[in-house]
Amino acid sequence: MSFVSPLFFIFIPVFLLGTICTRGNVRILFYIVMSYLFYAYSFPPYVIILFFSSFVDFHVGRRISRTENKHKKYMLLCVSIMVNIGLLFTFKYAGFFIRQINDLRLCTAFTVPNLILPVGISFYTFQTLSYTIDIYRNKIKPTSSFFDFACYVAFFPQLVAGPIIRAAEFLPQLKKHVPLKRENTIRGMELVIQGFVKKLIFADNLARVVDEIFLNHSQYGGGVLWIGSLFYAMQIYCDFSGYTDIARGIGRILGFKFPHNFNWPYLSISIREFWQNWHMSLSYWLRDYLYIPLGGSRVRVDRYLFNILFVFLLCGLWHGAGYNFIIWGIYHGLLVVGSKAAMSIRIISNLWSRVPGIVNIFFTFLVVTIGWVIFRVEKTNVAFLIIKKMLCIEGNDFFMGFVSIDNVSYLIPLFLFGAALHIISYKLKYNIDGFSLMTNTYYPVRIVVLALVITILMLSAPNQRSFIYFRF
């Protein structure tokens, strides 16, 4: 089920009513049942996988905590890793790798499985893995309640597309949360509105032109392809951060505080800073559970290069089973390594320190936008052709096809307006968690107004698109 589907506006009142009418363990059980129903809407049989993953990691976590033998602890951790990564590999990557093996024609062709990808499997797999790894590292104690753990894994607001929440963040809140507190409800509804505006007004409108440009790329010159790439950069940001805002808003209404997932990423002054501000819950997960255990930067230069490239390779693969995602991940890894190597040269470092910040921001956004082309276009040869046209390496007419793009006359102002909002909110350090637009308004009026705004947003956008990150 999607936050922007009409059915969700039947689901959420029922969920809130049930929340009000229940307490304690009964409420937690209610959360689990409703979250499973929410998840089952996409493909009911895959609820079994969600339950199985929760069941295995709950019991493995308890066994790790009770076992004194280090070898047994490690073997139990390996069980958790193999089960979770095995499920993820089977449903997300098996078909891709079997096709590559078949293409080599070294043996009899294997049958490519025709499996439907379970929605959100990449997200909840990382959540359950973080739980068992943290227990193994003695950073947290296992919960004694399977219901608590099942609720942590399946809690519907962030189940499908994050943010990736650690058990240490969620489980303590589960026992103490108080739903529908006045200020939390207001801030939560404002976050939901912010998410709907990003998704329905910006992302979905820009998507129409983005799809047209990339689908018919051969008909356009570099100038139009730049428009498509810039629009896609805003589309994917508004789409993904919009989902996060809605998830955080619903969580806030229910009395939970979920971590931020974006921190004005397109105003980063370096590619390294971009990854500290983009999809932060994934970046920190990869840092804590992969990069640092590999040795981080406190190793030989060759090992450091391997660590960076390996982490970004897996980051690309996490997003999807395709060469475009692999290349996109390596592209960002090379950018991080290259920038660090350049800054280690004193002359370059001194010169770069004198460059105005706006130039750093522009250059970082430029290389990120080029990377989005690789991410967006499934066929890598097509992606490289588009990039060549954008950089005037190939193609003669830079402005070819500009006048034939539908809706571009009003979408360019929409893009500029969105970019201006991004900059203004950054300058003001605007954050709904710390500032409400309706602070001094009578509470019932605030609720009614915010509910009307949400309803109007939904009714004004009848042809909603699925969230981009539902595919990952």
Please write the tens of the pLDDT for every residue from 3-15.
Answer: 878 788 889 889 9
Place 52 in a pLDDT band, splitting at 50, 70 and 90: very high
Nearest to 433 by CA among 183, 246, 244: 183
**Predicted confidence (pLDDT) at residue 406 exceeds the cutoff of 70:** no
Distances (CA, A) of 312 to 186, 221, 315, 317, 380: 38, 31, 5, 9, 18
**Predicted confidence (pLDDT) at residue 20 exceeds the cutoff of 60:** yes
The residue type at 148? D
Please write the tens of the pLDDT for every residue from 274-329.
Answer: 999 999 999 999 999 999 999 888 888 888 889 999 999 999 999 988 899 999 99
Distances (CA, A) of 468 to 235, 253, 258, 269: 9, 25, 20, 26
Q: Report the b/e string of 234-264 with b at 16+ CB within 10 A.
A: bbbbbbbbbbbbbbbbbbbbbbbebbbbbeb
**Predicted confidence (pLDDT) at residue 372 exceeds the cutoff of 60:** yes
Distance between CA 101 and CA 372 in Å, rounded? 28
**Predicted confidence (pLDDT) at residue 190 exceeds the cutoff of 80:** yes
Whole-model pTM above 0.75? Answer: yes
By the 8 A CB rule, do 180 and 16 touch?
Answer: yes
Residue 167: Cβ within 10 Å count:
26
By the 8 A CB rule, do 127 and 82 touch?
Answer: no
By the 8 A CB rule, do 271 and 364 touch?
Answer: yes
The arithmetic mean of pLDDT across residues 98-115, rounded, is 74
Q: Output the pLDDT for position 463.
A: 58
**Predicted confidence (pLDDT) at residue 407 exceeds the cutoff of 90:** no
Please spell the DSSP secondary structure of 257-298, one letter per residue.
Answer: -PPP--S-GGG-SSHHHHHHHSSHHHHHHHIIIIITTTTTTS
Place 441 in a pLDDT band, splitting at 50, 70 and 90: low
By the 8 A CB rule, do 261 and 279 touch?
Answer: yes
Distance between CA 76 and CA 27 in Å, rounded? 31
Please write the tens of the pLDDT for every residue from 302-314.
Answer: 888 899 999 999 9
Please write the tens of the pLDDT for every residue from 245-254.
Answer: 999 999 999 9
Q: Output the pLDDT for position 134.
A: 95
Q: Output the pLDDT for position 287.
A: 93
Place 436 in a pLDDT band, splitting at 50, 70 and 90: low
Nearest to 458 by CA among 189, 205, 197: 197
Please write the tens of the pLDDT for every residue from 148-170.
Answer: 999 999 999 988 877 999 999 99
Q: Output the pLDDT for position 434.
A: 62
Most confident option among 131-140, 400-409, 422-431: 131-140
Q: Which of 12-16, 76-80, 413-417 has the lowest mean pLDDT?
A: 413-417
- For Cα atoms 198, 411, 278, give the angle at the middle one, nearest 5 degrees: 40
Distance between CA 73 and CA 78 in Å, rounded? 9
**Predicted confidence (pLDDT) at residue 455 exceeds the cutoff of 80:** no
Residue indicated by tokens 């940001």: 237
**Predicted confidence (pLDDT) at residue 205 exceeds the cutoff of 80:** yes
Q: Output the pLDDT for position 453.
A: 78
DSSP state letter for 45: G
Q: Output the pLDDT for position 236.
A: 94
**Predicted confidence (pLDDT) at residue 462 exceeds the cutoff of 70:** no
- For Cα atoms 154, 158, 163, give the angle at the middle one, nearest 5 degrees: 125
Q: Output the pLDDT for position 438.
A: 61
Domain boundaries of the chain, sorted by first residue: 8-176, 183-471
pLDDT averaged over every residue in the chain: 86
Cite the active site residues: 319
Q: Output the pLDDT for position 421.
A: 82
Q: Output the pLDDT for position 102.
A: 78
